[in-house]
A = this chain, B = another copy of it.
Amino acid sequence: MAVQTVESTTDTDDATPTASPASPVDLGPATALSCRECGHRVPLGPVFACEECFGPLEIAYDFSAYDTEELRQRIEAGPANIWRYAPLLPVPADVADKPNINPGWTKLVKADNLARELGVTGGLYVKDDSGNPTHSFKDRVVAQAIEAARAFGFTTLSCSSTGNLAGAVGAAAARAGFRSCVFIPHDLEQGKVVMAAVYGGELVGIEGNYDDVNRFCSELIGDPAGEGWGFVNVNLRPYYAEGSKTLAYEICEQLGWRLPDQIVVPIASGSQLTKIDKGLQELIGLGLVEDKPYKIFGAQAEGCSPVSTAYKAGHDVVRPQKPNTIAKSLAIGNPADGPYVLDIARRTGGAVEDVTDEQVVDAIKLLARTEGIFAETAGGVTVGVTRKLIENGVLDPSLTTVVLNTGDGLKTLDAVAGTGLTATIRPNLDSFREAGLA
């Protein structure tokens, strides 16, 4: 992947890279980009890799002016979407007034029926992100990328995708008034193509696989043809990724400003899990929740389990795998944030586990049958891993536990295609009785 160094988006002197520069753009409390590896700081800009060590850049904030109770009241008085947390995100203070897809504030469902089935006594919750505008958690991260793109003067939004992200980018770009140009493998299933195409942006099929699509996007970023283009998951990635913090914020606020004891999070690139940890740490640091131990558990499908494999082997690095699982939204064989996930799981006393595709399907049905929530395969992975971790004595059923469902079953209908009619009868009572339904 091409590494970009900082380029100013304005002509002011402020944009010259320094250790802790004044920002040339208004992204609220965000003050700089900071390397996760070496701590090197650069001004806010459309860059994602450290010029010193090639480490990933993250947003650095200045939260020092906040009074805890004032901040809490400001959040609680905010809109019923992620912008209630604008003071903690790289967005301008008036973000809620700008055209955006406004995701978030999805339901935290108290899953008492599922808790009974799994033997959880400490309170079990499902954070159900299928309630987002395009029905996946990707709306959260894309909404952030939109505001960064606006700040940097980009006019086209782009990404490489095999599904959820394409729809999220298409929808958000349409609402926010950006041109969009999304790249996908040319031979995707027709349903996924329709879902991505309906928003009217450019949808370009690449003759090749997902790796070819990604390689092409990296090439395009470095070319004049890609000028003015914001790739949400490449050159806007530091901003984009921060959207996942809102999952942590919402869970804690919906629990009554309380940390859960245990959270089960799906792992694709691993970014979501690391940002949930970052969000929890911020809430503790700001005094919005009482500090206490929490455990973060990572969930993978066996057919794409590089992080789980490394965790079980006691490794610090993640060996890439070739994905082969029905949980396609998690099928990243070489997860960029894998090492950070390992670190967080071990530091918090959590774990990383995986389940088979059969267990994924069983878990989708279990969640639907008990709570009326129809999850994407990724939700089957987290529920399935939760069940496995309880059975193995790793997850403590007496503690408050939150399980993430990050997507919608309507997008992965094939996974449960075997589900069908329980009976077929003629339209009369005799036939009804014969079928044993009375």
Verify A199–B133 contact, CB threshold 8 A. no
From A225, which residue of chain B is reached at the shortest CB distance? B438
Residues 165-188 (chain A) with a chain B CB within 8 angstroms = 167, 170-175, 177, 181, 186
Cα-based distance from A113 to B178 in the complex (angstroms): 12
A220 on interface, CB distance cutoff 8 Å: yes
A200 on interface, CB distance cutoff 8 Å: yes
Verify A437–B204 contact, CB threshold 8 A. yes
**Stretch in contact with the other chain, from A37-45, A332-340, A393-401, A409-417:** A409-417
Q: Which of A135, A191, A410 has the most CB of B within 10 A?
A: A410
From A100, which residue of chain B is reached at the shortest CB distance? B372
A355 on interface, CB distance cutoff 8 Å: no
Cα-based distance from A213 to B425 in the complex (angstroms): 10
Verify B216–A428 contact, CB threshold 8 A. yes
A122 on interface, CB distance cutoff 8 Å: no
Complex contacts, A377 vs chain B, CB 8 Å = none
From A102, which residue of chain B is reached at the shortest CB distance? B107
Verify B372–A171 contact, CB threshold 8 A. yes
Verify B420–A174 contact, CB threshold 8 A. no
Residues in A lying within 8 Å of B, measured CB to CB: 80, 99, 101-102, 105, 107, 112-113, 131, 133-135, 167, 170-175, 177, 181, 186, 190-191, 193-195, 197-200, 202-208, 212-213, 215-216, 219-220, 223, 225, 364-365, 368-374, 408-411, 413, 416-417, 419-429, 432-433, 435, 437-438
Q: Given contacts A174-B371, A207-B424, A208-B427, could you give 14 more A-B pairs where the C-beta distance is less than 8 Å?
A: A113-B174, A171-B368, A194-B413, A194-B417, A195-B413, A204-B424, A204-B437, A207-B426, A207-B427, A208-B426, A216-B427, A216-B432, A223-B429, A410-B411
